[in-house]
A and B are shown apart, each in its own frame.
Chain A
Amino acid sequence: MLRRIRIALAVVCFSSITLLFLDFTGTLHAWFGWLAKIQLLPAVLAVNLGIVAALVVLTLLFGRVYCSVICPLGVMQDGFGWLGKRRKKYRYSYSPAVSWLRYGMLGVLVIAIIVGSGWLVALLAPYSAYGRIAQNLFAPLWQWGNNGIAYLAERMDSYAFYSVDVWMKSAAVFGVAALTFVILGVLAWRNGRTYCNTVCPVGTVLGMMSRFSFLKPMIDESKCNGCGLCARSCKASCIDPKAHRIDYSRCVACMDCIGACRQEAIRYGRQKKRPTVDVSEGKADVSRRRFLSGVGLVALTAAAKAQEKKVDGGLAVIVDKKIPDRRTPLVPPGAQGLKNMTAHCTGCQLCVSVCPNGVLRPSSKLATLMQPEVSYERGYCRPECVKCSEVCPAGAILPVTVADKSAVQIGHAVWIRENCVPLTDGVECGNCARHCPTGAITMVGSDPEAEDSPKVPVVNIERCIGCGACENLCPARPFSAIYVEGHERHRIV
């Protein structure tokens, strides 16, 4: 019964969280957005004391149910384990805790947070690891599916579905996600919750508390016949059947053992007398680490069709825009600046998955690896959109309203004379000025002396908010004639 409840809740949480990453319309966040906000590490980084306290209380009451129900990475591993179990039941076995690795990893995380090494935090955070997997591996499948339906809808003259762009946002982050997925998949398929009890720092912290939880599974030694079925069904490998002992720091309260015991010797309840939680320190035979590797993927470029002479019809070839070399990276409004972003972001990719304009993508730079970065080759930060600020669970992008956003300066536009089409092509343009939402761009004669000289933009950087409309809509390709340079600290203009 308890197991069924656990599974039901886990499936609901897991699918809802996954949908958060898959839903590109942003409608589900109104319903399930809170599920991202109750994740422990983001809550800690967002200094969301209420949620942290609630999770501590939850763990002290019921043990590590967080790991079995709320954590999507944990539930995903259970999924792999379940697949493995279909092949062979009762295939786990007790193994002693690898404490040096567990506490070592926790220490690494703490140090990483203190020194502000965002990429390391992002790599270790379990929820973020899942986010990357969902965003990089599941979302494209979902979107392709959607595009298939949109294709049919179009043929049926229905506007219910629309097509979305599926693109590789960062090859490095895709590589990390794919590697995490494969390693965790293999580990979980073979040995259950190895990752959660050796690497995951959230698991370690919760484990420290769950030893003292009010309710926990207990072995009634008088009923136990020492068959060891419980240990063989324990995905956390934390039951020592010979000693009739359970390592509560590793138990994720999955309740599998209760049903596995044919003697009904295991029950979930209050502890009568405190058992010794003496766990034998075995030598670490398995040390697992994840390594980073960039996966180079060949980007497909559209085949170009050449035009020879001026004839009627046909479409001009459009060269893809390239990312300009920004001295300072751009982070979205609400992030308040690079420091706040690095201090809080766990690299979960939720903002990246909801960005409808193709603006956010995970950074591939080591210092900010997996943290969101803004760029404008595919779209710009549209004035009506504040989606990333609505979804961020870690306080890296704080909520802003549409009105606030129009006054938050995240960067400023810089003009590049050499690329500007009135000068290179000798045509009228002014597309940047026409689309600037704050009216920060004015077109002026390129030669102050000559009144009829080609008009080029001048930017009032006091009014510019760095939204990138000018950069994105600039006709110059592959590099725009106007691009946005980031600001370290955002300000209100």
Chain B
Amino acid sequence: METKDKKGMDRREFLKRLGAGAAVSVAALAGCDPKNNPVTGDRSVEGEVPTDKMTYRMNPTTGDRVSLLGYGCMRWPQLSAPAADGNVADQEAVNRLVDYAIAHGVNYFDTAPVYVQGFSEKTTGIALKRYPRDRFFIATKMSNFSNPTRENSLAMYRKSFADLQVDYIDYYLLHSVGGGGMENFSRRYLDNGVLDFLLREREAGRIRNLGFSYHGDVKVFDYLLSRQDEYKWDFVQIQLNYVDWKHAKEVNTKNTDAEYLYGELQKRGIPAVIMEPLLGGRLSKVPDHIGTRLKQRRPASSVASWAFRFAGSFPGVLTVLSGMTYMEHLQDNLRTYSPLEPLTEDDKGFLEETAQLMLRYPTIPCNDCQYCMPCPYGLDIPGILLHFNKCVNEGNVPASSQDANYRQARRAFLVGYDRSVPRLRQAARCIGCSQCVPHCPQNIDIPAQMQRIDGFVEDLKQGREF
């Protein structure tokens, strides 16, 4: 596979030279034919993705040289129907993405036993097995949410090694601590002795770095850092982006500003791994006028690149994770970090203004992580929330039935709703059993949101005045 990749590189190189040659002749003719623009004749405006310009950060404990762009393995492309072994991930497409990422300097891969309907580790393992073990760092997690017995937790830990086909794990995390408060933390890691077990595994060298990913109750975060002398966390994974930096509470009262979280880690010299730099895409799929504003300031950069530059500009950040399903997203992020152009103070101020604008749009803070799924009653929860957010951003959620574009927005909302989510999986089907609620790392009150959206849909369908 590696040789195949090299071949690819050669071909690319060949094409580049060919293109350069052509560009010379094109340039000579440019005056005659407006179609052969000399600027775009030999390369796209966006340019080649550099292979050797990636920004790296040093892990102070192990000396790992980690790429600033980390690959989140939660959103691997999926097959339309599962493969023979039940795997829903599109292995071929995953291999392609992994090859491209590694060829362009990415070396950090973050997965978990529960991702991609439980197939992420296996798929990621197969893709990485084709490379020497020292070419990449693997991060995975203890996702013992539903069954925190010691037996089940240890089985999950061992299965990660088997699925990933490795004999050590570079970065191991206690998955999503903070949800359910200290009580849940004790249940998952202290009472069953799993944390002690993992500390011993680190001593034994099977875990090179031990850390935790944090969402929710800040008491757990503070508690774990207060015991730093004992636990010696090698890294901590937090949610950081230009909205959550100062406004996490405004998005979700249960969240904590990233400024605080990052500050606490900095005080103790613990490197931060960043998740949700894009808020599950909500910082790339922004309302039109916000997107325009960002593009106006840097026309050649994508909307998403602002969020990545924001997260990458903090020196204490080890890597920024992005769950890239599409090659185009991978390429865009590679460009942003090859190399990173840190934000200026001006840029930071500009993003803070942008964040304040964003807050005026009442999107639901769903990051499409799918932790809530599958809903036992068949709903497509993220599908419903994302459709609602899309309509908010596109101005198709009329604030009142008297709005000027009411009829058009109504149709767009309702027709789009049926397209995005099959009727049997729509919000009207939510019975409010609340089984999803503890799974949501963003603490969204999913049943309340479902009923709110359903009420809105009924208003539209019945043509009620509101």
- Point out residues on A near B: beta carbons under 8 Å: 154, 159, 162-163, 305, 307-318, 379, 382-384, 421, 425, 427-431, 434-435, 473, 475
Contact = CB atoms under 8 A, between A and B. Distances in A.
Interface string B410-424: 011001101100011
Given A429-B432, A429-B433, A430-B431, A313 B370 contact: yes
A431 B429 contact: yes
B82 interface: yes
Most chain A C-beta atoms within 10 Å of own C-beta, residue among B115, B145, B432: B432
Contacts of A314: 88, 117, 370, 373-374
A163 B113 CA distance: 37
Contact of A313 (B373, B378, B412, B463): B373
B256 to A, nearest CB: 23
A310 B116 CA distance: 11
Contacts of B285: none
Q: Is the interface of B mostly helix, strand, loop or mixed?
A: loop
A461 B52 CA distance: 74
A473 B376 contact: no
Interface residues of B, number: 42
A33 B227 CA distance: 78
Contacts of A317: 378
B431 A421 contact: yes
Given A314-B373, A429-B432, A431-B429, 16 more contacts: A311-B117, A312-B370, A313-B115, A314-B88, A315-B374, A316-B375, A316-B376, A316-B378, A318-B424, A382-B461, A421-B433, A427-B431, A428-B433, A434-B432, A473-B428, A475-B429
Interface of B: 74, 82, 88, 113-118, 145-146, 369-371, 373-378, 380, 411-412, 415-416, 418-419, 423-425, 428-435, 451, 461-463
Most chain B C-beta atoms within 10 Å of own C-beta, residue among A159, A162, A379, A428: A159
Nearest to B145: A310
Contacts of B463: 384
Contact of A312 (B82, B369, B419, B434): B369
A312 B88 CA distance: 12
B378 A318 contact: yes
Contacts of B376: 316, 425
A162 B434 CA distance: 32
Contacts of B74: 312
A475 B419 CA distance: 22
B429 A430 contact: no
A310 B146 contact: yes
B394 to A, nearest CB: 10
Contacts of B117: 307, 311-314
8 contacts: A163-B418, A313-B117, A314-B373, A315-B374, A384-B461, A421-B431, A427-B431, A475-B429
B373 A431 contact: no
A479 to B, nearest CB: 15
A378 to B, nearest CB: 9
A467 to B, nearest CB: 12
Contacts of A425: 376, 433
A427 B434 CA distance: 8
Contacts of A382: 461-462
Contacts of B146: 310
A93 B227 CA distance: 105
Nearest to A473: B428
A430 B114 CA distance: 31
Nearest to A164: B418
Most chain B C-beta atoms within 10 Å of own C-beta, residue among A310, A317, A379, A475: A310
Given A163-B418, A314-B88, A318-B425, A383 B462 contact: yes
Given A314-B117, A382-B461, A307 B431 contact: no
Contacts of A379: 423
Contacts of B425: 315, 318
Nearest to A319: B378
Contacts of B375: 315-316
A417 to B, nearest CB: 17
Contacts of B430: 431
A76 B425 CA distance: 42
Contacts of A159: 411-412, 415-416
Contacts of B423: 379
A307 B416 contact: no
B431 A428 contact: yes
Contacts of B461: 382, 384
A164 to B, nearest CB: 9
Contact of B115 (A308, A312, A316, A473): A312
The 5 A-B residue pairs with the shortest CB-CB distance in the complex, in nearest-first order: A427-B433, A311-B118, A313-B370, A429-B431, A318-B378
A30 to B, nearest CB: 17
Given A316-B376, A318-B378, A431 B431 contact: yes
Nearest to B451: A434
Nearest to A313: B370
Contacts of A309: 118
B433 A313 contact: no
B412 to A, nearest CB: 5
A383 B118 CA distance: 43
Contacts of A475: 377, 429, 431
A435 B451 CA distance: 10
A309 B117 CA distance: 9
A163 B430 CA distance: 23
A162 B415 contact: yes
Contact of A162 (B114, B370, B419): B419
Contacts of A427: 431, 433-435
Most chain B C-beta atoms within 10 Å of own C-beta, residue among A307, A312, A379, A428: A312
Most chain A C-beta atoms within 10 Å of own C-beta, residue among B377, B418, B429, B462: B377
Contacts of B433: 421, 425, 427-429
A162 B429 contact: no
Contacts of A315: 373-375, 378, 380, 425
Contacts of B412: 159
Contacts of B370: 312-314
Contacts of A163: 418-419
Nearest to A430: B432
Contact of B434 (A154, A307, A383, A428): A428
Given A159-B415, A162-B419, A317-B378, A312 B114 contact: yes
A458 B380 CA distance: 29
A431 B432 contact: yes
A312 B373 contact: yes
Contacts of B416: 159
Given A314-B117, A429-B433, A431-B429, A154 B374 contact: no
A365 to B, nearest CB: 27
Contacts of A435: 428
A311 B113 CA distance: 8
Contact of B116 (A305, A313, A383, A431): A313
Nearest to A383: B462
Nearest to A306: B86
Contacts of A307: 117, 374
Contacts of A421: 431, 433
